[in-house]
Amino acid sequence: MHRTRATLHKEAFATATGVRFGGEVTLRLAPAEIGEGIVLERTDLGARWPLDLEHSAAGPGCSTSGEGEAAVHFVEHLLAALWARGVSDCVVSVNGREIPLFDGSVRPVLALIDAAGVARSQEPQQPLVIEQPLLSSDEERAVCALPGRPTSYAYALSYQHPMIGRQFASFHPDSDDFDAQLAAARTFITIEEAEQAQKAGLLAAGSEENCIVIHRDRVSQPPELPGAYARHKLVDMIGDLYLLGRPLVGHFFGFYTGHQQNHGIAREILRWCGGE
């Protein structure tokens, strides 16, 4: 994995539909000073803040960053893409309340980062090292962080749904290929969840372009990879954990977890683990 801090060579931007609140949203990535961290900016409000754990929360079906009306939804895929490319310092701007979901995978954001180019410094990145077992759970979901190296991430899910069932995915950053194994795994939503989200005003403009819609007896588009839903949840977990802004050393295992537990384990890691 990348062990030195990095920013971008130049700016890159893309415009797409905001699935949650509607309208067009432009996502812009720009270079930052090395050491500045990842900064999130609402250009329509003139507000900016660190895109980190302290300024973020688990929202409805996504992670959000920022306070109240300024909050930006869907920061997790962007964070996973920045993590995958080892970008530690950059300015992320949006002119609305959400990061575009694009096709629901990380690929479009990776393409944006690659268009901007990664500028790696000599400045070392201080990893957070898991030194004791940590757990964040409720009655049916759990995520744990365990000591050990090389670092690994794994995720298992179990849905009482004929088109989903049980799936497992794992990823080893030192030896696996993020682009081949995780980048194509798209967001998925059951038709029931989609209808609920629409009623709750949380899906103003989403379509089958933005995610895989799972009906009782079919899916809107068959996933490209086996275990694709577990792979996508792994992307979400990796993205949420990058709110810590540092590489992690340890084993991370999520079972049926969502953003709530991901934020919980990130807070535990911040509380209990140090650098090396």
Question: Where on the chain is the footprint of Zn ion (CB under 5 A)?
Answer: 187, 236
In degrees, rounded to 5, the angle at the alpha carbon of residue 78 between the alpha carbons of residues 72 and 83 is 135
3-state secondary structure of 63: strand
User: Which is catalytic among the residues 77, 232, 251, 259?
Assistant: 259
Residue 52 or 240: which CB sits closer to Zn ion?
240
Least CB distance to Zn ion at residue 178 (A): 15
Q: How far apart are alpha carbons 53 and 65 in whole angstroms?
A: 8
CB contact at 8 A, 154 and 231: no
* 251 tagged catalytic: no
Q: Between 6 and 185, whose beta carbon lies closer to Zn ion?
A: 185
CB closer to Zn ion out of 65 and 187: 187
Bridge partners, 49 (sequence order): 40
Query: In this complex, which beta carbon is closest to Zn ion, that of residue 53 or of residue 211?
Result: 211
77 vs 239: CA distance, rounded Å: 6
CB of 106 to Zn ion, least distance (A): 9
- Token pair recorded at residue 190: 């059951």
Q: To which residue do tokens 């759990």 refer?
A: 142
**Distances, alpha carbon 255 to alpha carbons 28, 142, 196, in Å:** 33, 5, 24
DSSP secondary structure string for all residues of 75-114: -HHHHHHHHHTT--SEEEEESSSB---TTSSSHHHHHHHH
How buried is 186 (Cβ within 10 angstroms: 0-12 exposed, 13-18 middle, 19+ buried)? buried
- Between 187 and 210, name the residue whose CB sits nearer to Zn ion: 187
- Which residue number, 6 or 92, has a Cβ lying nearer to Zn ion? 92
- Measured at CB, which residue is nearest to Zn ion? 236
CB of 77 to Zn ion, least distance (A): 6
Q: What's the rounded Cα separation, in Å, for the pair 211 and 128?
A: 33
Q: Which residues contact 68 (CB under 8 A, 6 or more apart)?
A: none
Catalytic residues: 259
